[in-house]
Amino acid sequence: MTAPPLCAAPPLPKARGEVSAAVLDRLTAHPRTRTGPMTVPVPEDPYGDDLQLSLYLLYELHYRGFEGVDDRLEWDPDLLRLRAALEERFLAALRDGVPRGGGAEEELAALMDAPPDGKGSVSHHLLRQGELWQLREYAALRSLYHLKEADPHLWVVPRLRGRAKAGMVSVEYDEFGAGRAEEIHARLYADLLDDLRLTSAYGAYLDAAPAEMLAIVTMMSLFGLHRSRRGALVGHFAAVEVTSSPASARMADALRRCGAGEAAQRFYDEHVEADAVHEQLVRHEVVAGLLADEPQLEGDVVFGIRATGLLEGRLADLLLASWQAGHGVLRTS
Band (pLDDT 50/70/90 cuts) for residue 318 is very high
Q: CATH 1.20.910.10 in the chain, residues?
A: 103-324
CB-based contact 293:83 (threshold 8 Å): no
Mean pLDDT in residue range 64-90: 96
pLDDT digits (tens, 9 = 90+) for 136-176: 999 999 999 999 999 999 999 999 999 999 999 999 999 99
pLDDT digits (tens, 9 = 90+) for 203-223: 999 999 999 999 999 999 999
pLDDT digits (tens, 9 = 90+) for 174-205: 999 999 999 999 999 999 999 999 999 999 99
CB-based contact 280:184 (threshold 8 Å): no
- For 103-324, CATH gives 1.20.910.10
In this prediction, residue 2 carries a pLDDT of 46
pTM over 0.85: yes
pLDDT digits (tens, 9 = 90+) for 244-299: 889 999 999 999 999 999 999 999 998 887 767 788 899 999 999 999 999 999 99
In this prediction, residue 309 carries a pLDDT of 96
User: How far is residue 291 from each of residues 105, 149, 159, 235, 241, measured CA to CA in Å?
Assistant: 11, 25, 13, 11, 18
Does the pLDDT at position 1 exceed 60? no
pLDDT digits (tens, 9 = 90+) for 11-61: 999 999 999 999 999 999 988 777 677 889 999 999 999 999 999 999 999
Ramachandran category for residue 269: left, alpha or beta (phi over 0 → left; psi -120 to 50 → alpha): alpha
pLDDT digits (tens, 9 = 90+) for 83-142: 999 999 999 999 999 999 999 999 999 988 776 777 889 999 999 999 999 999 999 999
User: How far is residue 195 from each of residues 122, 254, 260, measured CA to CA in Å?
Assistant: 21, 15, 7
User: How far is residue 169 from each of residues 105, 156, 279, measured CA to CA in Å?
Assistant: 21, 10, 14
In this prediction, residue 3 carries a pLDDT of 47
Band (pLDDT 50/70/90 cuts) for residue 7 is low
CB-based contact 138:216 (threshold 8 Å): no
